[in-house]
Amino acid sequence: MFPTLSVMIWLPVLGAAIVATIPRRRSEIALPIGLGFSALVLALAGNVVWTFAKGDAGFQFAERASIYEAWGITYHLGVDGISLLLVALTAFLMPIGILASASVKERHKEYMAAMLMLEAGLLGVFLSLDLVLFFVFFEVMLVPMYFIIGIWGGERRVYAALKFFLYTAIGSAFLLAGIIFLGAMASDQFGAPTFDYTMLLMLDIPTSTQRWLFVGFALAFAIKVPLFPFHTWLPDAHVEAPTVGSVMLAGVLLKMGTYGLVRFNLPLFPQASVDFAGVMVALAVIGIIYGALVAIVQPDIKRLVAYSSVSHLGFIVLGTFALSAQGLSGGVIQMVNHGLTTGALFLLVGMIYDRRHTRLISDYGGIARVMPIFAGLFLFTAFASAGLPGLNGFVGEFLVLLGSYARHPAATITAAFGVLLAAIYLLWAYERVFTGPNEKPENQGLKDLNAREIGIMIPLVAVIIFLGVYPKPALDRIGPSVDAVVERVESFAVLPDGWEAETR
């Protein structure tokens, strides 16, 4: 069988190696080379989505080989309904990001090599079924992102890059300790160490051990989400990152945290997931409201979008720890929806920054008169991000709220106010930037989006509409894998009084 998943991971690595060898005087060809490799990955991802057996809850396109048999480390890849759409999202956003990289004015080949290595690391995270392999990709991904922020970012880029790196590294230490402990436990129970995810699911882990392992894994992933109160690195990273860095950070990197909670915490530690559900839901709801309130008062439009991510990602964590099929399905599809809408918002913010070189909302006003296409696209994306019915943001948030109400009614009602607050901060920002008189001389000569920029936005707009109008194909592929996770939690955990087993 053709190793589709391996080719998807290693093609960008090959592309990065080729780009790195380009003579500096020919560095302008780095972008088309990078675009070509990312387009090949997108084609492969499209084939995986198209041929994916949507009724199968197991891992498909699986590849397995031993790396170090004595330690039980394997090269094990596979994709299921939970990881499928995140793989597709990564492959979809990367060529868009590369096309949007025209504003990068220096060290083109190094930039493109970092972008391709970032894509390889992200795909490796979502496709790995060995925990050591997962950890390697989880860490490898940090390096290109560190350089993307630290070299091509804003004035405080070094501070932001270091803060991003150190926060994640601290969480990774807890994750590594938990992985090693699971391998040792597997050695005791199976007679040989293994880090294979499908084998670790068969471990008999005492409840007390589950709890501290849950905390270790959850800390690593909560920092990556980031879940309140571990979010303080995110606004700095977003503000200082170049536009495409922000797109990939919000679009895909943050999903490694939510994906990790769904992939590892719930199935491996089912009783602990039930025990800590209340804490995780509380933190999620605090993040939803806090992120929205802070976004409202932001004078910097890029920082506003960054805090909106803290709020929106809270919905994903809420859906995850509703521990219901509807809530978890909503959380998984919301990972994709947030990546699309927030990625589009960061692209649009980058486009206006390239023209005006300021992110302060007060420096604008009335620019819809001179940039009507840009204003229309921003309003459309703001509506999608705010959860307008008919656009993609509504689907995930509605399922999350529907799926969490039965078990967490007070939290769900509170979280619903986050939807209202999202409309307030996004539409108020739109009003201040785009409506009213265009009085500032610097804004009167602004040019509307060109053909390249419109072409970059068209695929995002199309997918946002498609998922909003017809989410069934996505939900059909997510459903069986989500059902399997919920069924496992309910089968191996004692549910609190008043919780009924969920069924679709």
Burial of 77 (0-12, 13-18, 19+ CB in 10 A): buried
Compute the distance between CA of residue 198 and CA of residue 496 in angstroms, rounded to an integer.
27
Token pair for 284 = 């999620």
Phi, psi of 75, rounded to the nearest 5 degrees:
-95, 90
User: What is the pLDDT at residue 29?
Assistant: 83
Compute the distance between CA of residue 454 and CA of residue 244 in angstroms, rounded to an integer.
16
Compute the distance between CA of residue 416 and CA of residue 176 in angstroms, rounded to an integer.
36
Question: Can you tell me whether residue 496 is helix, strand or coil?
Answer: coil
Compute the distance between CA of residue 289 and CA of residue 22 in angstroms, rounded to an integer.
48
Token pair for 319 = 């859906």
The ranges of the chain with pLDDT < 50 are: 503-504
Please say whether the beta carbons of 150 and 157 come within 8 A.
Answer: yes
Please say whether the beta carbons of 95 and 455 come within 8 A.
Answer: no
Compute the distance between CA of residue 147 and CA of residue 115 in angstroms, rounded to an integer.
10
Compute the distance between CA of residue 101 and CA of residue 108 in angstroms, rounded to an integer.
9
Report which of 408, 216, 257 is spatially closest to residue 322, judged by C-alpha positions.
408
Please say whether the beta carbons of 346 and 247 come within 8 A.
Answer: yes
User: What is the pLDDT at residue 252?
Assistant: 87
User: From the centroid of its chain, how far is CA 470?
Assistant: 22
Please say whether the beta carbons of 127 and 87 come within 8 A.
Answer: yes
User: What is the pLDDT at residue 503?
Assistant: 47
Token pair for 275 = 């025990």
Compute the distance between CA of residue 457 and CA of residue 344 in angstroms, rounded to an integer.
7
Token pair for 420 = 């209202």
Residues 7-41: b if buried by 16+ CB within 10 A, e if exposed? ebbebbbebbebbeebeeeebeebbebbbebbebb
Token pair for 277 = 């559900």
User: From the centroid of its chain, how far is CA 2?
Assistant: 28
Q: Left if phi > 0, otherwise alpha if psi is -120 to 50, otherwise beta: which for 20?
A: alpha
